[in-house]
Chains A and B, each alone.
Chain A
Amino acid sequence: MRALPVWPLVAVCLSCASRSQVTAPEAPAPFDEARAVHVLQRLAYGPSASDLSEMKRLGVEGWVDAQLEPASGDALPPGLSAKLQAFPTLGLSMAQLVEDYPRPPPEMPREEKRERGPARVVFERSSARVLRAVESPRQLEEVLVDFWFNHFNVSEDKGAVKWLATSYERDAIRPHVFGTFRELLGATAHHPAMLFYLDNWRSTREGLSQEELRHPRRFRRQAAMMEDAEEEEEAKPKLGLNENYARELLELHTLGVDGGYTQDDVREVARCFTGWSIRQPRKDPGFIFRKVAHDAGSKVVLGQVIPAGGGEKDGERVLDLLASHPATARHVARKLAQRFVADEPPPELVERVAKVFLDTKGDLRAVYRALFQSPEFQSPQARAAKVKTPFEYVVSALRATNAQVEVTPRLLRHLALMGEPLYRAPAPTGFPEVAEPWVNSGALVARLNFGLDLVGGRLPGARVSLDAFAPKQAPSAVEWVDGLGQALLGAKPSEATRATILAALAEKREAASAVDEAPPVDVPLIAGLLLGSPEFQKQ
């Protein structure tokens, strides 16, 4: 994406005055709808009628505060709760999921597989993600769950992860998105989904022999490590050090690729995490520390000595070290700024947010606040500067049209066609935060089709009533375009957009006028064009 050259100026002009100016206006200012929409585009999945009116009630600042401090006991709205409760797998433990939804025998009929096999776990997990994003009033939490899941990505395409990812999101990600970075890091490091996805569960000290691992009396529990070869991906482990987790921990989760670590650091970190394992991924998927597999020697990580004999604590010390490292602060600040502000965030913004990260020992709420209150975020330059990801596009379209949603496999397939199959990001990097990979003509056609299907009543599971958007009785074409434009785009459509849609309507009418005198306005065409328009792809 292009850098926005105005930013340095804006930042300089506003930075000195930012605190008083941005956070606490003296008298209640008149409601700034454009700003409200901007905040909803980034801190929520786009404006919905109900969130916009809630924002009017609380004021923009009040709404942001409420989003940052959701009361823990706050129940979800009854409608959403009921929908989520219809999915039994969401609340089950990993052990129960593995037990209750085993891999079906190949001869099982497809319907039954969908009902009783892991396909159900997979479907309900994705459905819940969509439903929550569309309907939850705790919008920022949903945005952050998406962000952090993606940051600490695991993919259900990898073997046992399909049974583990529900708990990963529910237990390791969601409870910590308003906590500290260290909590989040620790929760993901311990979770079987991550241990499995990046192979740490079978990383052992060099020189460990099969006999030692198998020893029936001394290491009875460790024997499990050898007993999980039900599936292709889980062959008998080659004993020895596996650096996958260590590498991605440094490169993706914490320091960043330019974070100043070496291949030796990767290796030393991997040694620290030897023994962090899973009891049995497909039978008893819980964390276990396998002492026999742990490398008890001393290690040196980023120049710090980790003395011999630390056992399970070695890993914790590494996480402490990484979570408080300036490179981590910068890496996380930059990624958050990419998500919330712009694909190429101004370096000064990243530095400021990174400083808050370090000063507050990684208090994520403080970090978010610094970002949201920054002049760069508030600047008009930031508005509509980002291209929506497919998930953001789909969810924002469902919200803007006030669709009644029951998630179906078809709806989820739309996301895959746009390039974002939920829970299946193909690499540990997760789905991209920036626009470029999302903007290609194939994905664009998929987006246009989603919009057309949605408003044309051809998307099973999403009902839209466009009549409800009628600006008045029997509106004219112009009134429909303006009214729907405001409702769906959150702002008046640009002159060019307006003229183009009117032209498309006129041509259609011309063609029809030979037969019929006053054909009705083609409202689905207007809505389809608006949802597919370049404006609606931006946020």
Chain B
Amino acid sequence: MTTRLSRRQLLQALGMTGAGLVLAPSFLSRAWAASPGDAPTRRALVTVFLRGGADGLSLVPPVEDDAYQRARPTLALKFEGEHAALKLTGPFGLHPSLGALMPLWSEGKLAVLPGVGLPVTPRSHFDAQDFMESGTPGRKATVDGWLNRALLDAKDDAPLRAVALQPTLPRALYGNAGALAMGRLEDFRLRTGRQHGDARQGFSALYSCAVDQALKGAGADAFEAMSKLDGARLAKLPVSPGVTYPGTPLSRRLQDIARLIKGDVGLEVAATEMGGWDTHVAQGVTQGAFARRCEELGNALAAFAADLGPKLDTVTVLVMTEFGRTVKENGNQGTDHGVGGVMFALGGGVKGGVHGRFESLTVDRLQDGRDVPSWTDVRAPLSEALRACRPGVALAKVFPGYREDSALGMFT
């Protein structure tokens, strides 16, 4: 996936944007060091974090499990009839508002992992998100995130290798491998009107001689990234013919990620997020808050996949959340914070199907008698995904202290 600019292209980029000679040495040495073919089957890894604790039992409801139906008298999805869940395999269905994903399922490009979560049980959003994203459950002192650590083994530091399409950098991308956050691709430029060239050149020169090394590095990355985005006119790159993004916030972000991928700028990981999954009250079944979120999620992912077309094979998408929700619905037609949730994976390297362990939701099998346990430690699918996207990745550094029991088989 990591198509790199040739030396000649680099020089062109420099000339075209006037990015300044001061940048050239480090810029060129990176391209020099990165000979083509050193990374045979790398894929870009894209994560979509569903914030708030998405109800796995409604995303991928075990509709044919009686215990599920009993636990959720008003919230359970039906297994037949109008508004029924879409049939997957075994007891599982897919929420009908995620219907846009069914073609991917049929093609074997959609994997589902129920009962996945943290091996510890923080009930609060911030703790759970923190552990999910630091990749060190139970350890608060970790400063960097798992996605960032996954990048540390490669020497290449293309400025757009790790991008978050959201205003602030997510916890998972904190760390020493340069990562940058932008609300939209369009925002990542200098707003100078007709002074454009002068200002950028001036700034890049100022930052190249900054005394503060961190500022100097951030500056170099920023101007290099701007040159690349600008050179490829990425922010305006049209979608593939026949594809329409629905225009929701998530779809706009995924569209920008697709542009980075199609633009071959050296993207290795991208992260984005979507809120609104904390459905304590009036969650709804096939109508209402939860269904609307599903629709936004499903349609955005489907458009993203269609937009990438054959390039989808060079990309792996993970959809994750901080925890699942209680098996029993509460008194407000909602659900409360639980433990095990659902992960989706789609795209290249993914083995379609439902994976991992799952059991009937009778009370005796639940954690504390109320929650789907973390039958699968979240680090298992993340490790597998990394191995599929970044062969040779040093997993012991990404997830220190974690030992995989057995292969999950979610990725090839």
Binding site for B on A (CB under 8 A): 1-2, 199, 229-236, 238, 244, 251, 257, 387, 416-417, 419, 421, 426-428, 435-437, 439-446, 448-449, 452-453, 456, 458, 496-497, 500-501, 503-505, 507-508, 522, 524-525, 528-529, 532-534, 537-538
Contact = CB atoms under 8 A, between A and B. Distances in A.
B160 to A, nearest CB: 10
Q: Which of A236, A428, A500, A508 has most chain B Cβ within 10 Å?
A: A500
Nearest to B193: A456
Given A458-B191, A503-B205, A507-B201, A444 B330 contact: no
Interface in B176-226: 178-183, 187-193, 195, 198-199, 201-203, 205-207, 209-216, 218-219, 221-222, 225-226
Contact of A235 (B192, B195, B280): B280
Contacts of A453: 191
A238 B336 contact: yes
Given A387-B212, A456-B193, A525-B198, A244 B140 contact: no
Q: Which of B169, B188, B198, B222 has most chain A Cβ within 10 Å?
A: B198
B124 interface: yes
B245 to A, nearest CB: 22
A501 B202 CA distance: 6
Contact of B207 (A231, A426, A534): A534
Interface of B: 124, 126, 130, 140-141, 159, 164, 167-169, 174, 178-183, 187-193, 195, 198-199, 201-203, 205-207, 209-216, 218-219, 221-222, 225-226, 278-281, 289, 330-332, 334, 336
Contacts of B205: 500, 503-504
Given A199-B124, A229-B281, A500-B209, A442 B214 contact: no
A230 B334 CA distance: 12
A533 B279 CA distance: 45
A417 B183 contact: yes
14 contacts: A229-B332, A232-B278, A232-B280, A233-B280, A235-B281, A251-B140, A442-B181, A442-B182, A445-B226, A452-B192, A504-B199, A525-B202, A532-B206, A534-B219
A411 to B, nearest CB: 14
A244 B202 CA distance: 49
Contact of B278 (A233, A456, A508, A525): A233
Contacts of B191: 449, 452-453, 456, 458
Contact of B212 (A230, A505, A534): A534
A95 to B, nearest CB: 23
A230 B332 CA distance: 10
Contacts of A244: 124
B303 to A, nearest CB: 25
B157 to A, nearest CB: 11
B181 A235 contact: no
Given A236-B331, A417-B167, A419-B169, A441 B140 contact: no
A265 to B, nearest CB: 15
A508 B169 CA distance: 35
Given A419-B181, A500-B206, A439 B195 contact: no
